Structure 1
Amino acid sequence: MSASPLVTRTLTAEEIPAFIGTVFRAFLEDPAPESVAAEIELLEPNRTHGAFDGDELVGGATMLSKHMTLPGAGPHPVAAISCVGVAPDHRRRGAMSRLMRAQLHSQHGSGDAFAALYASEGDIYGRFGYGLAGHRAFFAVPRGAEFQSTVDVSDGRVREVDKETALPLMHHLHSKVAPARTGWLARTKASWQVYLAENEAELRAEDLTKWRYAIHPEGYAIYQVKRNWQSRKPGHEVHAKEILGTTPQAYAALWRYLLDIDLTTTVRADAAVDDPIIHMLKDATDNSRQVSDGLWVRIIDIDRALPLRAYSAPLDVVLAVEDDFCPWNAGTWRLVAEADGPATVTRTDAEADLALGARELGAVFLGGTTVGELVSAQRIRELTPGSAQAASRAFAGDHQPHCPEVF
């Protein structure tokens, strides 16, 4: 007997707890009650889709209404894709494709210009038009590592305080820095709550402390300690969740504080690939840096998304775009941009300069992946000599895109 066809639709508020349970089950996790409660508060039922086998919810995906900083243009609305999963016993039946198609068409109808996500597996989302737009760097710096003599750690004192004391300052400083850092998200009260949530069972299993808060007049660090009591001396590690400074001096002061914590051996931090810590160190090899995929971006509507960001150089280029999942994007488009000025995107019958797919367009949107890279990788075809170099220069940003929080 053949399986019944799956049906995809948006969920009601009453169905959200079942949705969360299904997604956690898809990721082979047992959610703690506090994690479920935090997710329920964060999710928007009308932007959450479920896949049903009859009356049974077997998969789902949600879109969080966020604001992401774009190159040179500050924060703009983004559909932050999260909680995408299909129950283990209902895979390979097309549920994921149905969910992605429902999301994209919903986004097109609601006015979302672009979407972003973190991928649990890198080969999943390319077929739905998501491109690798930024990377994450994982730094490991040994305790006591020296800084260059030119590094100023300021006169501001770093103090450890409790969460309630730290939160007002963190809210204030994050709201100052985030609008200038490509890929960063604006944080609401609810998203701060999820960002700082703690699972007691996981902490015990990993022998981790709760979050600790170190504040500076112009910055803060959120970290925890992974305990490792050894026979001769402690080998604890500092795991930094976020280190933020509104000035280079404050940033250096917070790193210096973490690097000088007694009983520890290493500071580990997740940051942008162009984080200044490498160049702050007296010995640039005095760290271990591993790089993995970060943000994946999907352009929902080309003519609305591309003008949102600023461009670093003038550009007049015609793009031939293939997009099977969002057919309204397919065709030939002319992008005209001024350096740090307005940009326009219009349909055209002109000969194309570059030929690419939706996946490649998403990859270059934040400036973390260049057009030239994708030409060399044979992912973009340069039809007019010189057009790839011009587009690479224009799409470049001041910072490598990075999002400190996984959503």
Structure 2
Amino acid sequence: MTTRHPRLTVRPLQAEEWNTWYDSLLVAFGGTEEPPEERSLWRELTEVERSLAACEGERIVGSASALSFRVVVPGGAVLPAAGVTMVGVLPTHRRRGALTALMRRQLDDVHAAGEPLAVLTASEPPIYGRFGYGQGTRKVTVSMTRGRVRVHTPEQQGELVLRLADPAAELARCEELYARLATRRPGTLVRQPGWEKLPVLDAPGSRDGFSPLQSVVAEDPNTGELLGYARYAVKSDWNERGAAGVVRVRVVQAEQPWVYARLWEFLLDLDLTERVEAYNLPADDPLLHLVSDVRHLAPRLVDAMFVRLVDLPRALEARGWAQPVDAVLEVTDAFCPWNAGRWRLTAAPGKPASCVPTDDPADLALDVRELGSAYLGGTALSALAAAGLVRELRPGALESVSAAFRSGLEPWLPHGF
């Protein structure tokens, strides 16, 4: 099957075209070459059978791909989701319908495959709202000056030792810890085979003056059990005051608060460094409460993953709910009209939810984009209503439905794709 526009064809990618297709994507993103290690990994992770090429004649002028992800949703369930990636159109072919054609074909394919969700990270967020994607997760970036911030360590519940380790050598153990933590927080990707390589990708050409990736593991000295780990790189620098190195933290993970705090203490006490930076922490990360003065973190909240409900009733029935809800949602969805209409949502904590079509009067009116924003529990429907994006049609409905959508932890995307 092909999707046709004047002079434009959207069709499945052929495996032998991958290099040409990927080259067009790099041009769409400015033409900067990637280090060979990165290109090789993305070739390995690309699902060619789920990749699309927009063509003018035989020439590839646009691209889009989908990845077979599994995403944690509120309540701990893990849902299949299409990870939308590698979307780009050559500068000569923008504003000619290529992107719309790619999104149309892709969402039709995702719906046919039975995936209830599509997710993406956006190079330009305004682009994807018109295709029904809402901002579903956020992340916090921090930059701390060493010596200005102290970490409060909760009461130690056991013994631990810190050991420097090769990130690749410790990968399997760290992935086991990641998997145990994954289902606790909505938005987290349950990594499929091959994706464990991405968090330790360390192409020399992408280091920007930083050291090779380093790792410190926290272990129980008696059993050798892995209690936590951190990955980071250091950039040496000097100024008139002396050493001014920078520590760039890629990830810190631990099951117990005191271990998590101890790892941050280590990172904030590396010799010959002046600043510690991290660019992807959950919006409610414990570090924000562990430090002596949060202002010295200079926290900044930015968008992360965008969520699109492809099969609305299935998506809503699969997640958990914070409190009982019985409400009729009137949903608009111009791009995927099978989601449009009135839906009666009936749910309660720990019980199966129901979402079925109805002719009953609506309690709330909203677009599927706003449902995507609220779906993982990080954005309150009441906040969207305050922005005029959700309308309350029955007095009192907004507060109860908004509370039901919330999750205990802020949703978080652990890495890009």
Pick from 224, 229, 237: which aligns with 1:228? 237
Structure 1 distance, partners of 2:103, 2:237, is 43
Matched, 1:353 2:356: no
Answer whether contact 2:72 2:185 (CA < 8 A) is retained.
Answer: yes
Matched, 1:47 2:57: no
Structure 2 residue runs without a partner (length 5+): 220-226
**For residue 163 of structure 1, what is the aligned residue in structure 2?**
167
Identity of aligned residues (%): 37
**For residue 291 of structure 2, what is the aligned residue in structure 1?**
281
- Per-residue CA deviation, residues 298-335 of structure 1 (Å, 9 max, x unaligned), is 00011111111100000001011111110111111011
**For residue 391 of structure 2, what is the aligned residue in structure 1?**
381
Structure 1 distance, partners of 2:168, 2:206, is 23
Q: Secondary structure at the match of 2:411?
A: coil
Pick from 172, 178, 189: which aligns with 1:174? 178
**For residue 403 of structure 1, what is the aligned residue in structure 2?**
413
**For residue 190 of structure 1, what is the aligned residue in structure 2?**
194
Matched, 1:209 2:218: no
Cα drift, residue 103 of structure 1 = 0.8
Letter in 1 for 2:160: G
Cα drift, residue 385 of structure 1 = 1.0
Structure 1 distance, partners of 2:287, 2:82, is 31
Relative to structure 2, which stretch is displaced further, 286-295 or 222-231?
222-231
Matched, 1:118 2:101: no
- Per-residue CA deviation, residues 319-371 of structure 1 (Å, 9 max, x unaligned), is 11111110111111011001232111100010000111111111110011111
Structure 1 distance, partners of 2:6, 2:310, is 31
- Per-residue CA deviation, residues 20-42 of structure 1 (Å, 9 max, x unaligned), is 11111111121222222111110
Pick from 260, 265, 268: which aligns with 2:277? 268
Structure 2 distance, partners of 1:199, 1:25, is 20
Relative to structure 2, which stretch is displaced further, 156-165 or 225-234?
225-234
Cα drift, residue 153 of structure 1 = 8.5
Cα drift, residue 396 of structure 1 = 0.5
**For residue 243 of structure 1, what is the aligned residue in structure 2?**
252
Structure 1 residue runs without a partner (length 5+): none
Letter in 2 for 1:130: Y
Structure 2 distance, partners of 1:119, 1:189, is 24
Matched, 1:86 2:89: yes
Pick from 72, 78, 101: which aligns with 2:104? 101
Answer whether contact 2:210 2:236 (CA < 8 A) is retained.
Answer: yes
Structure 1 distance, partners of 2:233, 2:79, is 32
| CA spacing shift, 1:17–1:94, aligned 2, 3 Å | same
**For residue 310 of structure 2, what is the aligned residue in structure 1?**
300
**For residue 21 of structure 1, what is the aligned residue in structure 2?**
23
Answer whether contact 1:153 1:253 (CA < 8 A) is retained.
Answer: no
Structure 1 distance, partners of 2:90, 2:38, is 19
Structure 1 distance, partners of 2:94, 2:117, is 27
Structure 2 distance, partners of 1:16, 1:82, is 14
| CA spacing shift, 1:355–1:171, aligned 2, 3 Å | same
Cα drift, residue 141 of structure 1 = 2.3
Letter in 2 for 1:252: A
Structure 2 distance, partners of 1:95, 1:373, is 34
Cα drift, residue 194 of structure 1 = 2.6
Answer whether contact 1:320 1:331 (CA < 8 A) is retained.
Answer: yes
Q: Secondary structure at the match of 1:170?
A: helix
Relative to structure 2, which stretch is displaced further, 243-252 or 164-173?
164-173
Pick from 57, 61, 66: which aligns with 1:63? 66
Structure 1 distance, partners of 2:233, 2:157, is 22
Q: Secondary structure at the match of 1:313?
A: coil
Structure 2 distance, partners of 1:119, 1:355, is 26
Q: Please, what TM-score do these two structures have when normalized by structure 2?
A: 0.93
Q: Secondary structure at the match of 1:216?
A: strand
Aligned residues: 403
- Per-residue CA deviation, residues 136-190 of structure 1 (Å, 9 max, x unaligned), is 1001222242233646486311111112331121111011101111111112341
**For residue 5 of structure 1, what is the aligned residue in structure 2?**
7
Answer whether contact 1:153 1:256 (CA < 8 A) is retained.
Answer: no
Answer whether contact 2:168 2:200 (CA < 8 A) is retained.
Answer: no
Matched, 1:132 2:149: no
Structure 2 distance, partners of 1:165, 1:201, is 22
Cα drift, residue 284 of structure 1 = 3.0
Q: Secondary structure at the match of 1:187?
A: coil
Answer whether contact 1:140 1:287 (CA < 8 A) is retained.
Answer: yes
Structure 1 distance, partners of 2:411, 2:168, is 30
